[in-house]
Structure 1
Amino acid sequence: MLTIEDTLEGDVKIICPTGKLDTLTAKTFEAHLQSCVEDGNGPLLVDMSGVDYVTSFGLRSILIVAKKLAPFGRKFILFATNPSVMDVLRVSGFLKIVTVAENQDAAFDMAGLSQTASSDP
Protein backbone atom coordinates (compact mmCIF):
# COMPACT_ATOMS: atom_id res chain seq x y z
CA MET A 1 0.00 0.00 0.00
CA LEU A 2 1.09 3.55 -0.69
CA THR A 3 -0.29 6.83 0.61
CA ILE A 4 0.74 10.19 -0.75
CA GLU A 5 0.46 13.54 0.98
CA ASP A 6 1.67 16.86 -0.31
CA THR A 7 3.05 19.46 2.04
CA LEU A 8 3.97 23.06 1.42
CA GLU A 9 7.26 24.55 2.53
CA GLY A 10 6.69 28.19 1.76
CA ASP A 11 5.42 28.05 -1.82
CA VAL A 12 7.20 24.80 -2.71
CA LYS A 13 5.15 21.62 -2.90
CA ILE A 14 6.83 18.54 -1.45
CA ILE A 15 5.43 15.14 -2.35
CA CYS A 16 5.53 12.69 0.58
CA PRO A 17 4.80 9.07 -0.35
CA THR A 18 4.61 6.45 2.39
CA GLY A 19 4.74 2.70 1.89
CA LYS A 20 5.91 0.45 -0.92
CA LEU A 21 6.51 1.66 -4.47
CA ASP A 22 5.80 -1.55 -6.35
CA THR A 23 3.68 -3.14 -9.08
CA LEU A 24 0.43 -2.31 -7.31
CA THR A 25 1.24 1.29 -6.36
CA ALA A 26 3.57 2.63 -9.05
CA LYS A 27 0.76 3.82 -11.35
CA THR A 28 -0.86 5.77 -8.50
CA PHE A 29 2.49 7.35 -7.66
CA GLU A 30 3.16 8.18 -11.30
CA ALA A 31 -0.30 9.72 -11.76
CA HIS A 32 0.17 11.85 -8.66
CA LEU A 33 3.57 13.08 -9.84
CA GLN A 34 2.14 13.77 -13.31
CA SER A 35 -0.57 15.97 -11.81
CA CYS A 36 2.11 17.85 -9.85
CA VAL A 37 4.10 18.34 -13.06
CA GLU A 38 1.04 19.75 -14.82
CA ASP A 39 0.03 21.98 -11.90
CA GLY A 40 3.34 23.72 -11.36
CA ASN A 41 6.40 25.14 -13.03
CA GLY A 42 9.06 24.83 -10.35
CA PRO A 43 11.14 21.94 -9.10
CA LEU A 44 9.51 18.72 -7.97
CA LEU A 45 10.78 17.56 -4.58
CA VAL A 46 9.92 14.09 -3.27
CA ASP A 47 10.47 13.16 0.37
CA MET A 48 11.32 9.45 0.17
CA SER A 49 11.73 8.94 3.94
CA GLY A 50 8.43 7.05 4.12
CA VAL A 51 9.19 4.72 1.20
CA ASP A 52 10.65 1.46 2.41
CA TYR A 53 10.65 -0.57 -0.81
CA VAL A 54 11.02 0.18 -4.53
CA THR A 55 10.68 -2.24 -7.45
CA SER A 56 11.39 -1.78 -11.14
CA PHE A 57 7.83 -0.50 -11.60
CA GLY A 58 8.52 2.25 -9.05
CA LEU A 59 11.79 3.10 -10.80
CA ARG A 60 9.92 3.30 -14.10
CA SER A 61 7.48 5.86 -12.62
CA ILE A 62 10.38 7.96 -11.35
CA LEU A 63 12.10 7.79 -14.74
CA ILE A 64 9.00 8.83 -16.68
CA VAL A 65 8.49 11.93 -14.55
CA ALA A 66 12.19 12.86 -14.58
CA LYS A 67 12.21 12.67 -18.39
CA LYS A 68 9.11 14.88 -18.63
CA LEU A 69 10.69 17.60 -16.49
CA ALA A 70 14.17 17.61 -18.06
CA PRO A 71 13.36 19.40 -21.36
CA PHE A 72 11.87 22.29 -19.38
CA GLY A 73 14.86 22.61 -17.06
CA ARG A 74 12.74 21.72 -14.05
CA LYS A 75 14.55 19.88 -11.31
CA PHE A 76 13.33 16.57 -9.95
CA ILE A 77 14.92 15.75 -6.60
CA LEU A 78 14.36 12.79 -4.32
CA PHE A 79 15.52 13.26 -0.75
CA ALA A 80 15.79 11.42 2.56
CA THR A 81 15.91 7.97 0.98
CA ASN A 82 16.47 5.09 3.37
CA PRO A 83 19.55 2.88 2.83
CA SER A 84 17.70 0.03 1.09
CA VAL A 85 16.01 2.37 -1.40
CA MET A 86 19.34 4.15 -1.94
CA ASP A 87 20.91 0.77 -2.76
CA VAL A 88 18.22 0.11 -5.39
CA LEU A 89 18.83 3.55 -6.93
CA ARG A 90 22.59 2.97 -6.91
CA VAL A 91 22.54 -0.58 -8.34
CA SER A 92 20.01 0.35 -11.04
CA GLY A 93 22.09 3.33 -12.19
CA PHE A 94 19.39 5.81 -11.26
CA LEU A 95 21.85 8.01 -9.37
CA LYS A 96 23.12 9.06 -12.82
CA ILE A 97 19.59 9.97 -13.93
CA VAL A 98 17.87 11.42 -10.86
CA THR A 99 19.22 13.83 -8.27
CA VAL A 100 19.10 12.47 -4.73
CA ALA A 101 19.69 14.72 -1.74
CA GLU A 102 20.46 13.64 1.81
CA ASN A 103 17.72 15.74 3.38
CA GLN A 104 15.20 18.49 2.71
CA ASP A 105 17.67 21.32 3.26
CA ALA A 106 20.07 19.79 0.72
CA ALA A 107 17.20 19.28 -1.74
CA PHE A 108 16.26 22.95 -1.46
CA ASP A 109 19.89 23.95 -2.02
CA MET A 110 20.19 21.68 -5.08
CA ALA A 111 16.97 23.11 -6.48
CA GLY A 112 18.26 26.66 -5.98
CA LEU A 113 15.52 27.45 -3.50
CA SER A 114 15.59 29.16 -0.16
CA GLN A 115 13.63 27.58 2.62
CA THR A 116 11.16 30.18 3.78
CA ALA A 117 9.64 28.14 6.58
CA SER A 118 11.28 26.26 9.38
CA SER A 119 11.77 22.55 8.83
CA ASP A 120 12.49 21.41 12.35
CA PRO A 121 12.47 17.59 12.60
Structure 2
Amino acid sequence: MPSTFSRIVSGEIPAHKIAETDDYLAFLDVMPTATGHTLVIPKKEVDYLFDLDDDLYNGLMAFAKKIAPAIEKAVPCKRIGVAVVGLEVPHVHVHLIPLNSMADMNFSHKLKVSQEELAATAAEIRAFL
Protein backbone atom coordinates (compact mmCIF):
# COMPACT_ATOMS: atom_id res chain seq x y z
CA MET A 1 0.00 0.00 0.00
CA PRO A 2 1.43 3.43 -0.93
CA SER A 3 2.34 5.81 1.88
CA THR A 4 0.28 8.93 2.53
CA PHE A 5 3.08 10.93 0.92
CA SER A 6 3.11 8.75 -2.21
CA ARG A 7 -0.63 9.35 -2.44
CA ILE A 8 0.06 13.11 -2.28
CA VAL A 9 2.67 12.74 -5.04
CA SER A 10 0.17 10.89 -7.24
CA GLY A 11 -2.52 13.54 -6.61
CA GLU A 12 -4.81 11.12 -4.80
CA ILE A 13 -4.59 13.27 -1.65
CA PRO A 14 -4.51 17.09 -1.98
CA ALA A 15 -1.66 19.09 -0.47
CA HIS A 16 -0.60 22.72 -0.18
CA LYS A 17 2.42 22.47 -2.44
CA ILE A 18 5.35 24.82 -2.09
CA ALA A 19 7.65 23.51 -4.83
CA GLU A 20 8.08 20.44 -6.99
CA THR A 21 10.61 18.88 -9.34
CA ASP A 22 10.66 15.53 -11.09
CA ASP A 23 12.25 13.96 -8.00
CA TYR A 24 11.17 16.04 -4.98
CA LEU A 25 8.13 17.73 -3.47
CA ALA A 26 7.73 20.32 -0.70
CA PHE A 27 4.33 20.90 0.89
CA LEU A 28 2.89 22.28 4.11
CA ASP A 29 2.37 19.97 7.06
CA VAL A 30 -1.38 19.86 7.76
CA MET A 31 -0.65 19.44 11.48
CA PRO A 32 2.20 21.92 11.89
CA THR A 33 4.21 22.68 14.99
CA ALA A 34 4.55 26.27 13.71
CA THR A 35 3.09 28.32 10.87
CA GLY A 36 5.01 27.50 7.69
CA HIS A 37 6.05 23.99 8.81
CA THR A 38 6.99 22.36 5.51
CA LEU A 39 7.70 18.75 4.59
CA VAL A 40 10.24 17.98 1.89
CA ILE A 41 10.17 14.49 0.37
CA PRO A 42 11.69 12.48 -2.43
CA LYS A 43 8.93 11.33 -4.76
CA LYS A 44 10.42 7.86 -4.69
CA GLU A 45 8.98 6.05 -1.67
CA VAL A 46 11.79 5.02 0.65
CA ASP A 47 11.07 4.46 4.34
CA TYR A 48 14.40 5.38 5.98
CA LEU A 49 16.60 8.40 5.27
CA PHE A 50 19.82 6.42 5.30
CA ASP A 51 18.45 3.92 2.79
CA LEU A 52 18.36 6.65 0.11
CA ASP A 53 21.10 6.33 -2.48
CA ASP A 54 23.68 9.13 -2.32
CA ASP A 55 22.28 11.07 -5.28
CA LEU A 56 18.71 11.06 -3.95
CA TYR A 57 19.89 11.94 -0.42
CA ASN A 58 22.08 14.83 -1.60
CA GLY A 59 19.38 16.05 -3.97
CA LEU A 60 16.79 16.00 -1.17
CA MET A 61 18.99 18.13 1.07
CA ALA A 62 19.81 20.53 -1.79
CA PHE A 63 16.09 20.87 -2.58
CA ALA A 64 15.30 21.55 1.10
CA LYS A 65 18.09 24.16 1.18
CA LYS A 66 16.36 26.05 -1.66
CA ILE A 67 12.99 26.01 0.13
CA ALA A 68 14.21 27.16 3.56
CA PRO A 69 15.05 30.78 2.62
CA ALA A 70 11.59 31.26 1.10
CA ILE A 71 9.96 30.04 4.31
CA GLU A 72 12.20 32.32 6.36
CA LYS A 73 11.17 35.34 4.25
CA ALA A 74 7.45 34.50 4.35
CA VAL A 75 7.13 33.58 8.03
CA PRO A 76 8.61 35.79 10.77
CA CYS A 77 11.16 33.63 12.58
CA LYS A 78 14.72 33.55 13.91
CA ARG A 79 15.73 30.64 11.70
CA ILE A 80 14.53 27.47 10.02
CA GLY A 81 14.93 24.30 12.04
CA VAL A 82 15.52 20.98 10.32
CA ALA A 83 14.40 17.60 11.64
CA VAL A 84 14.25 14.10 10.27
CA VAL A 85 12.33 11.80 12.58
CA GLY A 86 10.87 9.22 10.25
CA LEU A 87 8.57 7.34 12.57
CA GLU A 88 5.14 8.76 11.74
CA VAL A 89 5.01 8.12 7.96
CA PRO A 90 7.04 5.35 6.27
CA HIS A 91 8.35 7.71 3.58
CA VAL A 92 11.50 9.83 4.00
CA HIS A 93 10.65 13.42 4.88
CA VAL A 94 12.55 16.43 6.11
CA HIS A 95 10.74 18.89 8.38
CA LEU A 96 11.55 22.57 7.78
CA ILE A 97 10.15 24.47 10.74
CA PRO A 98 10.21 28.24 11.34
CA LEU A 99 11.67 28.71 14.82
CA ASN A 100 11.32 31.48 17.33
CA SER A 101 11.97 29.19 20.28
CA MET A 102 12.83 25.55 20.95
CA ALA A 103 9.15 24.95 21.69
CA ASP A 104 8.46 25.28 17.95
CA MET A 105 10.24 21.91 17.47
CA ASN A 106 7.92 20.15 19.92
CA PHE A 107 6.21 17.53 17.75
CA SER A 108 3.64 16.79 20.44
CA HIS A 109 2.30 20.36 20.08
CA LYS A 110 0.29 20.79 16.89
CA LEU A 111 -1.43 23.93 15.66
CA LYS A 112 -5.00 23.83 14.42
CA VAL A 113 -4.88 25.53 11.04
CA SER A 114 -7.67 25.91 8.49
CA GLN A 115 -7.30 24.95 4.85
CA GLU A 116 -7.63 28.65 4.00
CA GLU A 117 -4.76 29.55 6.33
CA LEU A 118 -2.62 26.78 4.84
CA ALA A 119 -3.37 27.97 1.31
CA ALA A 120 -2.44 31.55 2.21
CA THR A 121 0.80 30.46 3.87
CA ALA A 122 1.74 28.27 0.90
CA ALA A 123 1.14 31.20 -1.47
CA GLU A 124 3.30 33.52 0.68
CA ILE A 125 6.18 31.02 0.69
CA ARG A 126 5.91 30.34 -3.05
CA ALA A 127 6.14 34.08 -3.69
CA PHE A 128 9.72 34.01 -2.38
CA LEU A 129 10.92 31.11 -4.53
Q: TM-score range by the shorter chain?
A: 0.3 to 0.5
Q: Which has the higher helix share?
A: 1
Q: Which has the higher strand share?
A: 1
Structure-1-length-normalised TM-score: 0.34
